[in-house]
Amino acid sequence: MQMRYLAVTTLCIILTVAPVLAKEKKPEKPMDPQAMMEVWKQLATPGEPHKLFATLAGSWTTKTKEWMEPGKPPAESEGTAEMKMLLDGRFLYQEFTGQMMGQPFAGIGIDAYDNMKKKYVTAWMDSMGTGIFMMEGTGSPDGKTITLRGSHPEPGGGQMHHRAIWKLVDSNTQIFEMYGSHGHGKDSGKEMKMMEITYTRKQ
């Protein structure tokens, strides 16, 4: 009984003193406004990843493979893509036109390298939905292989998880691969290749 009383008493003291200690803890010294401006200036300056994106500006032809069902050959289609840099070399903008699941398809993508997060970030929207699909990830040391991850809700419930591998083979060739896994059901967690797009620069 005495041990229980001691434990309760100790807990009450801690709960009483903790807020006081929290108030007395001195906040970190705010950054000097000029120093903060310098940091923001550095973060806002395009770096090597942005320079690499800039080499992708131009017109491309595309060949797409879609795997609809495991064990069956992919559906294949062709299309085009136009790429350009936005906002003084900070973002790569893409307009894609082709086919998807046998239907006319158009999409818009914006690719970024966030200097603060030190991560690649992409936003994609297209004619087969009304949402914006977001992914983020990291690159290889040379920046030519970018791995991205994201997810979106499925109509029947649960989440579809995606992993994309974007290979910048050379200045005239790109390969974008998309893998997916369902977040529920018997195939939960089982990843399968869903799509592969090969971009070839128009000559």
Residues 113-133 have pLDDT tens digits of 999 999 999 999 999 999 999
Task: Go through the chain and tell me how many residues it has.
Answer: 203
Q: 119 vs 28, which has greater pLDDT?
A: 119
pLDDT for 22: 43
Range scoring the smallest mean pLDDT among 31-35, 106-110, 121-125 = 31-35
pLDDT in tens, 58-74: 999 999 999 988 788 99
State the Cα–Cα distance between residues 99 and 106, nearest whole angstrom: 8
93 CB neighbour count, 10 Å cutoff:
16
108 and 129 in contact (C-beta within 8 Å)? no
- Percent above pLDDT 90 for the chain: 63
Q: Own/partner pairs for 157-162, CB < 8 Å, 24+ apart?
A: 157/184, 158/182, 158/183, 158/184, 158/185, 159/183, 159/184, 162/135
The Cα angle at residue 46 between residues 176 and 87, in degrees rounded to 5: 85
pLDDT at 28: 67
Residue 8, pLDDT above cutoff 50:
no
- In this prediction, residues 182-198 reach a mean pLDDT of 77
Q: 3-17, 78-92, 98-112, 149-163: which has the minimum mean pLDDT?
A: 3-17
3-state secondary structure of 143: coil
Other CB atoms within 10 A of residue 120 CB = 21
